[in-house]
Amino acid sequence: MPPEAAATSSPYTRANPFPGKLVANRRLTGDESEKDTRHFEVDLTGWGLNYEVGDSMTVYPSNDPALVEELVHALCAKGDETVPGNKGQETTLRDALLHDYRITQTTPKFLKAIAERASAAPLLNELLKPARKPDLDTYLWGLEVIDFVLEHPSVRFTAPEFVALLAKLQPRLYSISSSLKAHPEAVHFTIDVVHYESHGRQRKGVCSSFLAERCEKNPVPVFPHFEIPAPR
């Protein structure tokens, strides 16, 4: 059965990804190495999925719960406020920040809102001018949403206002490094886990840290991304 047919007949879709089970999370680089490259294996038993060499798998991560709680606290919120999810459904602020919205990388409208509401943000106001975009990009490196919320405590947002300033949390695409012939009900990845320090804080890649730190007891939502054959 071709991959497309297998995906079509399956109850799982991009909107309803398969709940894979992480069965291997092994570091390949030495403890002394700054690089953290890992081998991951996700059990797909019960899916009946076929894939080919060159296909990729989409992983749907959730955000770091510790960062979510820090944001809720910094916003002087409770976390149970009702907000729209990224698909228009109602949810709580805590769940929206965990599953629906990107809470690391800033958006232009978030920065504009901070600049407009902050009691003092002269540098940000200057860098938001179109001619200063290269300087803004340099300034933003290593800064995340939480940095601006903490730096400007005078700024107040309601929960719905805040999530409206964020981008949707996007899935990540990883190349499959295994063969169905050798592993008929699993998929393997080799991934560099992103973590670094900037501005006195430890930063983490959203999806790589999701796999490395938060999937031991939680499902790994996945869906295939099939390569379109080149025209002959």
Is 125 inside any structural domain?
A: yes
Query: Are residues 142 and 220 located together in one domain of the fold?
Result: no
Query: Are residues 131 and 85 located together in one domain of the fold?
Result: yes
User: What backbone phi and psi angles, to 5 degrees, belong to 182?
Assistant: -90, -35
Is 81 inside any structural domain?
A: yes
For residue 90, give its domain range.
65-164
Number of domains into which the chain is organized: 2
- Quick one: 138 exposed, middle or buried, by C-beta within 10 A (0-12, 13-18, 19+)? exposed
Is 231 inside any structural domain?
A: no
Domain final residue pick, 164, 184, 210: 164
Name the pLDDT band for 4 (thresholds 50, 70, 90): very low
pLDDT by residue (tens digit) across 139-150? 999 999 999 999
Query: Are residues 46 and 70 located together in one domain of the fold?
Result: no
Range list of H helices, 30-132: 65-74, 93-99, 108-117, 122-127
Query: Are residues 38 and 85 located together in one domain of the fold?
Result: no
Q: How many helices (H) and strands (E) does the chain have?
A: 9, 10
Q: Residue 196 has what pLDDT? A: 94
> What is d(CA 36, CA 29) in angstroms, rounded to the nearest whole number?
6
Name the pLDDT band for 1 (thresholds 50, 70, 90): very low
- CB within 8 A of 77, min separation 6: which ones? 93, 159
**Would you give the DSSP letter of residue 193?**
P
Place of tokens 């699993």: 186
Q: Residue 199 has what pLDDT? A: 93
Query: Are residues 175 and 100 located together in one domain of the fold?
Result: no
Residue 48 belongs to domain with CATH number: 2.40.30.10
- CB within 8 A of 192, min separation 6: which ones? 35, 36, 37, 38, 208
What average pLDDT score do residues 32-54 get? 89
pLDDT by residue (tens digit) across 107-165? 999 999 999 998 878 889 899 999 999 999 999 999 999 999 999 999 999 999 999 99
Is 188 inside any structural domain?
A: yes
What average pLDDT score do residues 5-25 get? 82
Q: Residue 101 has what pLDDT? A: 97
Query: Are residues 71 and 90 located together in one domain of the fold?
Result: yes
Query: Are residues 57 and 70 located together in one domain of the fold?
Result: no
Domain final residue pick, 164, 181, 210: 164
> What is d(CA 9, CA 22) in angstroms, rounded to the nearest whole number?
24
pLDDT at 230 over 70: no
Query: Are residues 34 and 95 located together in one domain of the fold?
Result: no
Query: Are residues 84 and 125 located together in one domain of the fold?
Result: yes
Query: Are residues 86 and 151 located together in one domain of the fold?
Result: yes
Percent of the chain's residues with pLDDT above 90: 76
Query: Are residues 119 and 138 located together in one domain of the fold?
Result: yes
Q: pTM for this structure?
A: 0.88
Query: Are residues 72 and 138 located together in one domain of the fold?
Result: yes
Domain final residue pick, 146, 164, 182: 164
